[in-house]
């Protein structure tokens, strides 16, 4: 059975939504990233990059949320859009994988977690995150889905980060992008979203972002340079 290595962050939640939407059977394997469990040798054998999510599928390991979505869509034939839309699907999936997602993450870091305030970095990542939202908002004008006429892995990939826009750009930020807001509300109303949100609710994950959690999340900040 498929093993899903999970912590309830924006990237693992994408995979959670895919699994909820498709009903694919799986075993949930919790990885408490605030405790640093992603850095164990056992987990790094699944994902050498030491991040969640990851999956194991009959001996095949796949890591990075967008790679997992693409792998599962190709394997199952679900949420992969149509062959005619393959170019659009890959393009928008990579837009999220290399743009919207990482810039949102860096915006969060320099806004909320950086040990010292760096105005240039905070402004750089905030403005680039906003620019990516502008691109997506323009694309979603008169569209119900990002690619084609039905839900695809691209919508799922975007949902994972748009769901956290309040923490990334501010509580009322979504209203600045009316097409994204309309799209998000439609996706968010699907029954599968509630199922995804309930995934792992019975697991007691660490919640305090203390020094242990900071060292687990940002180990490079505490590493001694070997030069």
Model confidence pLDDT, tens digit, residues 19-60: 999 999 999 999 999 999 999 999 999 999 999 999 999 999
222 pLDDT higher than 90: no
pLDDT value of residue 127 = 98
pLDDT digits (tens, 9 = 90+) for 139-178: 999 999 999 999 999 999 999 999 999 999 999 999 999 9
What is the value of pTM for the model shown? 0.95
Q: What is the pLDDT of residue 227?
A: 44
92, 72, 85, 82: which is closest to 157 by C-alpha? 92
The Cα 181–Cα 66 span in angstroms is 22
Mean pLDDT of 12-21: 98
Q: What count of other Cβ atoms lies within 10 Å of the Cβ of residue 194?
A: 11
Q: Report, as an integer, the average pLDDT of 133-140.
A: 98
């Amino acid at each position: 059975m498929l093993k899903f290595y999970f912590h309830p962050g924006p990237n693992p939640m994408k995979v959670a939504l895919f699994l909820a939407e498709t009903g694919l059977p799986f075993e949930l394997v919790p990885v408490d990233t605030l405790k640093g469990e992603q850095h164990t040798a056992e987990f790094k054998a699944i994902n050498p990059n030491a991040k969640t999510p990851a999956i194991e599928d009959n001996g095949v390991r796949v890591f990075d949320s967008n790679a997992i979505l693409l792998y599962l869509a190709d394997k199952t034939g679900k949420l992969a859009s149509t062959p005619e839309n393959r170019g659009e699907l890959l393009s928008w999936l990579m837009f999220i994988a290399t743009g919207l997602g990482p810039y949102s993450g860096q915006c969060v870091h320099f806004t909320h977690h950086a040990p010292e305030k760096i105005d240039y970095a905070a402004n750089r990542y905030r403005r680039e995150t906003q620019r990516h939202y502008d691109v997506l908002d323009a694309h979603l004008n008169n569209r119900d889905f990002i690619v084609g006429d039905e839900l695809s892995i691209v919508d799922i990939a975007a949902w994972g980060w748009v769901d956290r826009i309040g923490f990334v750009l501010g509580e009322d930020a979504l209203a600045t992008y009316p097409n994204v807001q309309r799209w998000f509300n439609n996706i968010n109303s699907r029954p599968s979203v509630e199922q995804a949100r309930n995934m792992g609710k019975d697991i007691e994950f660490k919640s305090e972002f203390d020094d242990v959690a900071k060292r687990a999340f940002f180990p490079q900040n505490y590493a001694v340079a070997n030069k």
